[in-house]
Structure 1
Amino acid sequence: MNKKGYSRSFISLWIGEIVSEFGGAAGGIVNGLLLYEITGSKEWMGALWLIYFLPSLALQGISSPFLNHVIKEKMLKNIQLIRSGAYLLPLLGYLSGEDYITIIGLIILQCLLGLVQPIYASLSFSLLPDLCTEKELVQANSLLDGTLRLMSFIAPGITSLLLIFSPIYVIYIISSLMFLLSYISLLQIPQNSVEKIATWSKKFWWEELKAGYFTFFQYPHLLKLTILSSIVQFAVGATMVINVPFIRGELNGQAWEYAVFSVTFPVGYAIGMLLLTKLPKNNLLMYSGLIGGGLSFVLLYFVPTLPLAWACELIGGILFPLFNAQSAAYFQREAPRERLSQLSSIRLLFLRLTMPLGILFASVSFLGINTRLTYLLIGTFIVLPGLYFLIKTIINRDSSAKHIRNIV
């Protein structure tokens, strides 16, 4: 990062991400509460998430060519306006007093959120190289990722306090306002992208779709980093299933002790984000962070007490940013700039697909394998490829150094 700090455009994007993450997290909590209050059904809760998740994945799989031909800054702003308006739909149903109108509003809201989220994430990821210098990319990715993870546990806490003093519908107003504030913040980003005029047809879309995936697989380093990040997401999905039974069952923890366990990872992530600003950015550090993060899962197989489990989560939170931020920056630097939006969408598709696979793996294994062994397995999945690439990096570096000495 240069002495002048980040650009004003990046700060605007960062602020927009913070307030929208708060609005989304708060809205997600009251969506579940409101639906359960009306239906009292866990099946409806599952259906609500499927309504979000399935159309989202379907659109992401087919929309990537479109992302190369939009004005990114304008699209991001429009998406925040759509989200702001969408959060008023269940509010209108709630105020009408008709349960079926409220449910319809929730369904439309979840569907809209699921459709626009992958587009927003892909475009904001691909816009980052336009707002930062190459040297700033690692720290910029770390700052964004770390801040969003902090908001993921700060926002539910604040929302819980608000619900003590105010009715549910007030949270919908707050969520809508948060996305409107995000839109206002994004207005400060100057429009540098140029809309590429394309004659849209089925043939053109198919050719562009094939070209995007072909380009993606033509860059083995980008594919490798995407696969490694996907393995991490697979592990994250698995822990969503086993964390509660591990703390409450294996270690006989109380509810508040599980809450501490949940908080330690994002707190560690914020520490890791700060640590990364002081460390050299290179492949050795990146793969070391991946290995260390994987080992934090492996160690949960052995820990006998809650404080040690908290320590493992804290260590994992500190180490994973060393990999996540650098791998994201590598992708942004090395991917062809003219196809970065499309390739970012493909990368995100890999990451989003592996999380439900992790959930499925842990759900099935939980029936025949205890939670500790599941931690050991997912940690090993991360550590082994990390060790391979770390050793390969060391060998290549030593070979390069030896070659230079021979030349001299």
Structure 2
Amino acid sequence: MIKKRYSNSFISLWIGEIISEFGGAAGGIINGLLLYEFTGSKEWMGVLWFVYFLPSLILQGISAPFLNHVIKEKMLKNIQLIRSGSYLFPFIGYLSGTELGIIGGLVVLQIILGLLQPIYASLSFSLLPDISEEKQLVQTNSLLDGTIRLMSFIAPGITSLLLLFIPLHVIYVISSIMFLLSYLSLAQIPYSSTNRVATWSKKFWWKELQAGYETFFQLPELLRLTFLSSTVQFAVGVTMVLNVPFIRSELNGQAWEYAIFSGMFPVGYALGMVLLSKLAKNNITMYLGLIGGGFSFILLYFVESIPFAWTFELLGGVLFPLYNSQSAAIFQQKAPRERLSQLSSVRLLFLRVTMPLGILFASSPLLEISTRLSYLLIGTFIVLPGIYYFITTLIGYVSELKEKKVTKTS
């Protein structure tokens, strides 16, 4: 069924994503467990994320021009090969039996992953229009995005089962093998472009960087969609801090009840993918998805029982794909093809910056905002602009219908 509907190149990319997302999620879980086992320090956990995000954001901000001049398929598979090798650093560090070896291996791994992830995400996003038909872009974006969400739900459970039978550090070898298999899957994608790296100079790089950002800010529709997606990512950052205290303290839930709550969104996302395949793909359903997803946060403000919290989290998961997949497809369609890789990187930069801002907002001691009020605020941040653009879209459709009627009668 999948083979009949999508191209072989997309299927290879999709399989590569499934395998690598599982390997990455499993490795991420082990990172925290291994570091805490050796150091017993929460501070080192913060350092581990710091060395992941800071180099990543800096590189993403300055490397965007290079992405216009690379062979995307070749770069993607090479990144997976490098990631495969990088997961062996903490494994070797563990075998050294020293705290320095463990921390050093984890730091090297996080730096490599942090540098490569934004490049990989930008290139895979910009590759989709080359390996999918334009009318399939909403569905292919939905499938890839849903795969990532599902792996974040499935991988922890499978990893926990693996830990019953094999030592902690061996998971790194499994992650390494997963990325190697992903490389082999991506190697099946034929090159759709023959771009070669240009002769780079400081002047040329600066000129290209300026041109990319100027192009981005001169395309109001892409800017608007990126802004709206950024509000969603900001909300995700907030919930990363709030979800545990909300279930455990506000609602006096047990650990298993929080585990179900955390799984509701990815399960809902999978259902949302199915729903999206049955609905009309247009701006009305897109903005309804955004409004409904934002409203699911507002509903948590009023929740008094855990089953209702599960229900509203599931609802958010079902509705957000209606916006995410369609907005991604519009970006891919409307961005100039020759600059799509660069503009994808700029878009991703905005999305990645707002998530840490959400974490800072939720955890700052200077902002004494209750957990419930925080849910209300982030939901409002999403819903209000969503309603505005929904109304303007509706007015535009009504105007078009009136014009068509006038044309027919005349």
Shift of 1:195: 2.0
Tell me whether 47-56 or 98-107 shows the greater mean CA deviation. Answer: 98-107
Secondary structure, counterpart of 1:175 in structure 2: helix
Q: How far apart in 1 are the matches of 2:107 and 2:2? A: 46
Partner of 1:161: 161
CA shift, 1:366, in A, is 8.6
**Counterpart code for 2:322:** L
- 1:161 match: secondary structure: helix
1:236 equivalent in structure 2? 236
Aligned with 1:79: secondary structure? helix
Contact 1:226 1:350 in 2 (8 A): yes
Matches within 5 A, 1:87-236: 87-236=87-236
User: Which one-letter code corresponds to 1:142 in the other structure?
Assistant: S
Q: Say if 1:186 and 1:249 are closer, same or farther in 2 by CA, change over 3 A.
A: same
Instruction: Kindly provide the CA deviation profile for residues 230-251 of structure 1, in whole angstroms up to 9, marking residues without a partner as x.
Output: 0000000001111111111111
TM-superposed CA distance for 1:43, in Å, is 0.8
In 1, are the aligned partners of 2:361 and 2:367 still within 8 Å (CA)? no
After the TM superposition, which of the residue ranges 3-12 and 230-239 deviates more from structure 2? 3-12
Deviation at 1:404, TM superposition (A): 1.4
Evaluate the alpha carbon distance shift between residue 3 and residue 158 of structure 1 in structure 2; reply closer, same or farther with a 3 A threshold.
closer
2:70 maps to amino acid? V
The residue that corresponds to 2:4 in the other structure is 4
Distance in 1, matches of 2:230 and 2:197, equals 33
Shift of 1:197: 4.3
State the secondary structure of the residue aligned to 1:368. coil
The CA RMSD measured in Å over matched residues stands at: 1.3
Extract unaligned runs of 5+ from structure 2. none
2:3/2:11 contact within 8 Å kept: no
Alignment deviations for residues 114-167 of structure 1 (CA, whole Å, 9 cap, x no partner):
000000000000000011001100000001101110000100111111112110
Q: 1:10 to 1:3 in 2, by over 3 A?
A: closer
Q: How does 1:283-322 map to 2 (within 5 A)?
A: 283-322=283-322
How many angstroms does 1:39 deviate by?
A: 1.1
Which position in structure 2 is the counterpart of 1:390?
A: 390
- Mapped to 1, the partners of 2:300 and 2:197 lie a distance apart of 53
Q: Point out the more displaced range, 35-44 or 82-91.
A: 35-44
The one-letter code of the counterpart of 1:181 is L
Moved more, 340-349 or 28-37: 28-37
CA contact (8 A) 2:230 2:350 kept: yes
Alignment-derived partner of residue 14 in structure 2: 14
In structure 2, the partner of 1:250 is: 250
Give the Å deviation of 1:2.
10
Mapped to 1, the partners of 2:365 and 2:286 lie a distance apart of: 30
CA distance in 2, matches of 1:2, 1:394: 34
Instruction: Give the secondary structure class of the aligned counterpart of 1:68.
Output: helix
1:368 counterpart letter in structure 2: E
Which letter does structure 2 place at the counterpart of 1:257?
E
Q: Distance in 2 between matches of 1:174 and 1:2?
A: 27
Equivalent residue number for residue 277 of structure 1: 277
Q: Structure 1 counterpart of 2:164, which letter?
A: I
Aligned to 2:261: 261
- The one-letter code matched in structure 1 to 2:270 is A
Asked if 1:60 corresponds to 2:56, the answer is no
Q: Is the 8 A contact 1:335 1:343 kept in 2?
A: yes
* Contact 2:66 2:197 (C-alpha < 8 Å) held by counterparts: no
Name the aligned partner's letter for residue 224 of structure 1.
R
Which residue of the partner structure matches residue 345 of structure 2? 345
Q: Distance in 2 between matches of 1:395 and 1:144?
A: 32
- What is the CA deviation profile of residues 254-294 of structure 1, one whole-angstrom value per residue up to 9, with x for unaligned ones? 00000010000100000000110111000000000000000
Do the aligned partners of residues 272 and 365 (structure 1) sit closer, same or farther apart at CA in structure 2, a change above 3 Å counting?
Answer: farther
Output the TM-score relative to the length of structure 1.
0.98
Per-residue deviation, 1:102: 2.1
Distance in 1 (CA, whole Å) between partners of 2:172 and 2:292 is 40
Between the two proteins, the alignment pairs up a number of residues equal to 408
Corresponding position of 1:370: 370
SS at match of 1:277: helix
Matches within 5 A, 1:317-336: 317-336=317-336
1:173 counterpart SS class: helix
Change (3 A) 1:3 1:90: closer
Specify the code of the residue in structure 1 equivalent to 2:49: W
Q: Distance in 2 between matches of 1:329 and 1:407?
A: 31
Cα separation, partners in 2 of 1:196 and 1:142, compared to 1, 3 Å: same
The code of the aligned residue for 1:48 comes to L
- The one-letter code sitting in structure 1 at the alignment partner of 2:308 is L
Instruction: Kindly state the Cα deviation for residue 183 of structure 1 after the two structures are TM-superposed.
Output: 0.2
How far 1:367 sits from its partner (Å)? 5.3
| 8 Å contact from structure 1 (residues 365, 374) kept in 2 | no
Whole-angstrom distance in 2 between the partners of 1:73 and 1:2: 21
- Matches of 2:10 and 2:233, distance apart in 1: 26
Structure 1 unaligned runs (5+)?
none
Q: How far apart, CA to CA, are the structure 2 residues paired with 1:80 and 1:279? A: 35
2:83 aligns with 83
